[in-house]
């Protein structure tokens, strides 16, 4: 997921689960990894991984900036609900973006110097939904959503797969399904945010 989706998903979870900024930060942080695990589009549009934000292609930057702005605007729509809870919202938002700040900015080189830091970077990467390599040995849990999507598209769209490499229409069919699931998660999150009591 990109930043806007993480903000919406994280705040929906944290604001319905806790009233403490510290646990909101932790829920936000955990929600990032859960959101990463769920099927979604983001850099799955590209056939390779991007670690350092400085190596990102311009189109990914444009996508990130646009998606973040839309996410923030959507979140601000719930400002009346957030009244009196802004500390929670800020703590959650920081927590839900922290994993990507640690992994994709130059902070990653500091983490890489320590065993724990490297282990965390590996965890973040391997616990991330990746459409193009469903059969990763790394983590079975993380590979499962992509396996399910592949199996679904194989059933609905038999013969779409072209040889060993994925055909373009096959890749788009899988991406579309991942996008629909991401949209579903976001709509659910918005419904949760909309159902929160407005504090006076
Ligand atoms: Zn992430």
What local confidence, expressed as pLDDT, does residue 135 receive? 59
What are the two backbone dihedrals, phi and then psi, of residue 50, each rounded to the nearest 5 degrees? -125, 120
What local confidence, expressed as pLDDT, does residue 1 receive? 86
Which helix (H) or strand (E) element contains residue 63? helix 58-76
Q: What is the pLDDT along the chain (200 residues), one digit of tens a residue?
A: 899 999 999 999 999 999 999 999 999 999 999 999 898 888 777 777 777 777 888 888 898 899 999 999 999 999 888 888 999 999 999 999 999 999 999 999 999 999 999 999 999 988 888 877 655 555 567 778 888 888 888 887 766 665 445 566 777 888 888 899 999 999 999 999 999 887 65
Q: 95, 29 in Cβ contact below 8 A?
A: yes
Ligand 1 centroid distance, CA of 103 (Å): 8
What local confidence, expressed as pLDDT, does residue 136 receive? 58
Q: How far is CA 154 from CA 50, 54, 58, 64, 147, in A?
A: 28, 36, 32, 30, 10
pTM strictly above 0.85:
yes
Ligand 1 centroid distance, CA of 128 (Å): 7
Angle at the Cα of 119 (from 113 to 123), degrees rounded to 5? 135
Cα–Cα dist 147/150, whole Å: 5
- Smallest Cα–Cα separation from 2: which of 97, 129, 137, 80? 97
Dihedral angle sign, alpha carbons of residues 101, 6, 127, 125: negative
Ligand 1 centroid distance, CA of 48 (Å): 15
Q: How far is CA 172 from CA 41, 109, 164, in A?
A: 10, 34, 16
Ligand 1 centroid distance, CA of 22 (Å): 20
Ligand 1 centroid distance, CA of 129 (Å): 9
What local confidence, expressed as pLDDT, does residue 126 receive? 84
Kindly state the tokens that stand for 168: 């373009």
Q: 7, 70 in Cβ contact below 8 A?
A: no
List the shell of residues around ion ligand 1, using CB closer than 5 Å: 36, 99-100
Ligand 1 centroid distance, CA of 101 (Å): 9
């Amino acid at each position: 997921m990109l930043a806007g989706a993480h903000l919406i998903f994280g705040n929906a979870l944290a604001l319905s689960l806790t009233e403490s900024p510290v646990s909101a930060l932790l829920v936000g942080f955990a929600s990032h990894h859960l959101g990463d695990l769920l099927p979604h589009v983001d850099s799955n549009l590209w056939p390779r991984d991007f670690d350092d934000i400085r190596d990102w292609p311009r189109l990914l930057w444009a996508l990130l900036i646009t998606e973040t702005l839309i996410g923030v605007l959507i979140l601000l729509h719930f400002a009346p609900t957030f009244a009196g809870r802004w500390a929670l919202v800020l703590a959650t938002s920081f927590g839900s973006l922290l994993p990507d700040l640690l992994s994709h900015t130059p902070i990653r080189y500091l983490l890489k110097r320590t065993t724990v830091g490297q282990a965390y970077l590996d965890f973040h990467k391997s616990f991330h939904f990746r459409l193009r390599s469903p059969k990763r040995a790394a983590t079975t849990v993380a590979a499962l959503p992509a396996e399910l999507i592949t199996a679904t598209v194989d059933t609905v769209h038999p013969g779409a797969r072209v040889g060993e490499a994925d055909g373009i229409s096959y890749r788009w069919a899988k991406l579309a399904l991942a996008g629909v699931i991401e949209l579903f998660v976001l709509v659910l999150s918005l419904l949760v945010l909309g159902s929160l009591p407005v504090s006076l």
